[in-house]
Amino acid sequence: MASISGEDKKYKKRGFLMDPKEVKSALKNARECIKNKDYKEALRHCKGVLAQDKSNYNAFVFVGVAADGLEQADQAVKAYRRATEVDPEQPLAWQVSYG
């Protein structure tokens, strides 16, 4: 049985479902799903990230792209807006929401 590292224990103790590597992997999977037009699966990955990190800029951008792909304009706009609230200096959410 694999032992849990100190870093993993810290995240589990704070109630996180994923450690930072898992978050990165989930976002990478979401991006790949979007690339393959599997928008529902992309949303699933993003919602897992947002369940523990309600201010993850990339997850909100990917939710916007996936919702747009599913023709859910209201959800897409809300996600892009939330991304710009999380980090107004990042241009990506502005570009995809008005591009």
Judge whether 85 lies within some domain: yes
Taking only Cα atoms into account, the Rg of the chain, rounded to an integer number of angstroms, comes to 15
38-89 pLDDT, tens digit per residue, is: 999 999 999 999 998 999 999 999 999 999 999 999 999 999 999 999 998 8
Domain extent at residue 89: 36-99
Judge whether 84 lies within some domain: yes
Judge whether 62 lies within some domain: yes
> pTM for the whole thing?
0.78
Q: Give the Cα separation of 21 and 26 in Å (integer).
A: 9
Judge whether 53 lies within some domain: yes
24-51 pLDDT, tens digit per residue, is: 999 999 999 999 999 999 999 999 999 9
Q: What is the pLDDT of residue 79?
A: 96
Taking the CB of residue 81, how many other CB atoms lie within 10 A of it?
Answer: 14
Nearest to 57 by CA among 33, 29, 80: 80
Q: What is the pLDDT of residue 91?
A: 74
Judge whether 31 lies within some domain: no
Answer for the pair 80, 93: CB distance below 8 angstroms, yes or no.
yes
Q: What is the pLDDT of residue 18?
A: 82
Label residue 10 by pLDDT band (50, 70, 90). very low
Judge whether 66 lies within some domain: yes
Say how many domains are in the chain: 1
* CATH code of 79's domain: 1.25.40.10
For 64, the token pair is 């916007």
Answer for the pair 37, 68: CB distance below 8 angstroms, yes or no.
no
Judge whether 27 lies within some domain: no
Judge whether 52 lies within some domain: yes
Q: Which of the two residues, 33 and 6, has the higher pLDDT score?
A: 33
